[in-house]
């Protein structure tokens, strides 16, 4: 009887659920599973929190289902991608001292002001949704515990599974970690209360430890399965897409427009909301616009977009000069909280109107990459794309015309797949 073939597991903790996949060393999908999560509690406007044990239940349910499907394969490593900025305080054994504050929780207004007084202007931790602001808020509102460990969502889950609580370059970024110098800056340490311990920060994919023996036995997983340090969901999506060298870019065209380009050095510019995440030997530099698919859905259903797109000649400009936004205000590439949507004149032909909208969003995409280049990013080489823009071939041809480079759908963009690819890469490096 032949021995089981090797596999790796990637998990993604999102707002609505946990998704898990298993792949082999060629990237072939072997198994997948999902568990739903309840919506975070919202005790007040702008407050979003969740009981961390809800995440644990979802992760264990997904791992159990993956193990059931992997009868002919032996999982060797596991890596977790999770939401950036979701944070909790825990005791030395990992027991939560209270609820976790979700990535979009903005209650830490006073703490953000204290941080702004000490933090460099270009740091990525400004604002009440930063991990550092949440840490200070939790410490003060949990009765100033004498001992507490600050952990992100993925840190906590990886620690429960692998027996060692640590963070990684990307999750730790908005807690104030300097991923270029690979240290906690002095100004961060000056803000941290004496009873709070910052997590150890590892390279994404670093082995944390073998899977907890009780969990391995209960879920029928190998006792020597290695749990690896994870990364953020957005960085995992870039691993899934297959960005390889400087100039490779990923555009995610969902409700909003998010662009990321691989660069040789980090770039940060608070004016435009641009920051960088370490990505192997390179840096992932990105920005996010308020434009995107949500504007299209103000006027057309998905079926209408598909039907009208078939009537558009992507090589023929519409003659319309739109800046599509749902409401006034833009972040990137034009940081203007008062910027008004520009959606006039509106032609009688709905296909021409749609063409103008598609071109307008594509011009914002092109302006975004030009802005990153102006700030020091490399020249755009190619664009891989995900979201609604990836399933509309006419829109992709319009974008290629305006960007001047090839635009193709990313093979995969799921964060769970990216986490698995990170695990697979690290496994190969360990094997060598």
Whether residue 430 has pLDDT greater than 80: no
Work out the mean pLDDT of the chain and round it to a whole number.
93
pLDDT-based confidence at 298, cuts 50/70/90?
very high
> Omega into 236 within 30° of 0, i.e. cis?
no
73 - beta bridge partners? 5
48: left (phi > 0), else alpha (psi -120 to 50), else beta? beta
Whether residue 387 has pLDDT greater than 90: no
Is 275 in the same domain as 399?
yes
Whether residue 378 has pLDDT greater than 80: yes
Is 308 in the same domain as 159?
no
CA angle 28, 32, 38 (to 5 degrees): 150
Is 362 in the same domain as 219?
no
Is 127 in the same domain as 269?
no
| pLDDT tens digits, 229-248 | 999 988 998 999 999 999 99
CB 107 within 8 A of CB 130: no
Is 227 in the same domain as 251?
no
Cα 220 to Cα 214: distance, rounded to the nearest angstrom = 10
The candidate with the shortest Cα–Cα distance to 19, out of 5, 31, 3, 2, is 31
Is 252 in the same domain as 348?
yes
| Per-residue model confidence (pLDDT) at position 426 | 59
Is 14 in the same domain as 40?
yes
Number of domains in the chain: 2
Whether residue 429 has pLDDT greater than 70: no
CB 247 within 8 A of CB 378: yes
Is 175 in the same domain as 277?
no
| Per-residue model confidence (pLDDT) at position 427 | 52
| Per-residue model confidence (pLDDT) at position 122 | 81
CB 308 within 8 A of CB 350: yes
What does the pLDDT average to over 17-23?
Answer: 96
CB 9 within 8 A of CB 215: no
| pLDDT tens digits, 148-173 | 999 999 999 999 999 999 999 999 99
Is 123 in the same domain as 27?
yes
What does the pLDDT average to over 282-300?
Answer: 94
- Phi/psi of residue 156, nearest 5 degrees: -65, -45
| pLDDT tens digits, 45-82 | 999 999 999 999 999 999 999 999 998 899 999 999 99
Q: Pick the most confident of 153-162, 252-261, 387-396, 417-426.
A: 153-162
The candidate with the shortest Cα–Cα distance to 416, out of 208, 261, 236, is 236
321 vs 123, residue with greater confidence: 321
In the chain, % of residues over pLDDT 70 = 98
What does the pLDDT average to over 399-424?
Answer: 93
| Per-residue model confidence (pLDDT) at position 123 | 83
pLDDT-based confidence at 386, cuts 50/70/90?
confident
Strands 196-197 and 407-409: unpaired
| Per-residue model confidence (pLDDT) at position 84 | 84
The candidate with the shortest Cα–Cα distance to 315, out of 397, 391, 392, 383, is 397
Least confident of 89-98, 120-129, 310-319: 120-129
What does the pLDDT average to over 100-109?
Answer: 94
CB 11 within 8 A of CB 18: yes
CATH code assigned at 387: 3.30.420.40
Is 278 in the same domain as 200?
no
Is 227 in the same domain as 340?
no
What does the pLDDT average to over 367-377?
Answer: 97
| Per-residue model confidence (pLDDT) at position 62 | 98
- Phi/psi of residue 327, nearest 5 degrees: -145, 165
Is 295 in the same domain as 364?
yes
Q: 423 is in which domain, residue-wise? A: 5-235+415-431
């Amino acid at each position: 009887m032949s021995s089981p073939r090797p596999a790796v597991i990637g998990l993604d903790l999102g707002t609505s659920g946990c998704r898990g996949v298993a792949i082999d060393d060629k990237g072939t999908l072997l198994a997948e599973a999902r568990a739903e999560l309840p919506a975070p509690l919202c005790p007040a406007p702008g407050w979003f929190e969740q009981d961390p044990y809800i995440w644990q239940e979802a992760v264990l349910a997904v791992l159990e289902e993956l193990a059931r499907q992997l009868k002919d394969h032996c999982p060797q490593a596991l890596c977790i991608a999770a939401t950036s900025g979701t944070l909790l305080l825990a005791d030395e054994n990992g027991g939560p001292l209270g609820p976790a504050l979700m990535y979009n929780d903005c209650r830490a207004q006073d703490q953000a002001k204290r941080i702004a007084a000490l933090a460099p202007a270009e740091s990525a931790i400004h604002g009440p949704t930063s991990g550092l602001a949440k840490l200070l808020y939790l410490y003060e509102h949990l009765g100033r515990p004498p001992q507490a460990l600050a952990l992100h969502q993925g840190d906590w889950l990886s620690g429960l599974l692998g027996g060692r609580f640590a963070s990684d370059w990307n999750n730790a970024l908005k807690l104030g970690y300097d991923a270029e110098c690979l240290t906690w800056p002095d100004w961060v340490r000056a803000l941290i209360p004496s009873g709070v311990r910052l997590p150890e920060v590892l390279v994404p994919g670093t082995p944390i430890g073998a899977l907890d023996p009780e969990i391995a036995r209960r879920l029928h997983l190998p006792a020597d399965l290695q749990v690896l340090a994870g990364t953020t969901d957005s960085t995992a999506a870039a691993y899934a897409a297959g960005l390889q060298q400087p100039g490779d870019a990923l555009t995610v065209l969902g409700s909003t427009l998010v662009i990321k380009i691989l660069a040789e050095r980090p770039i940060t510019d608070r004016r435009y909301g641009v920051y960088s995440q370490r990505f192997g030997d390179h840096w992932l530099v990105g920005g996010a616009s308020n434009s995107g698919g949500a504007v299209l859905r103000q006027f057309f259903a998905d079926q209408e977009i598909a039907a009208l797109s078939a009537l558009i000649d992507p090589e023929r400009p519409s003659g319309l000069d739109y800046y599509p936004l749902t409401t006034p205000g833009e972040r990137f590439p034009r940081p203007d909280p008062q910027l008004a949507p520009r959606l006039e004149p509106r032609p009688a032909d709905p296909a021409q109107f749609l063409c103008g909208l598609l071109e307008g969003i594509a011009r914002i995409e092109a302006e975004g990459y030009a802005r990153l280049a102006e700030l020091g990013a490399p020249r755009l080489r190619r664009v891989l794309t995900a979201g609604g823009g990836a399933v509309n071939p006419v829109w992709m041809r319009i974008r290629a015309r305006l960007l001047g480079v090839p635009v193709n759908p990313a093979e995969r963009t799921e964060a769970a797949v990216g986490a698995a690819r990170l695990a697979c890469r690290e496994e190969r490096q360990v094997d060598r």
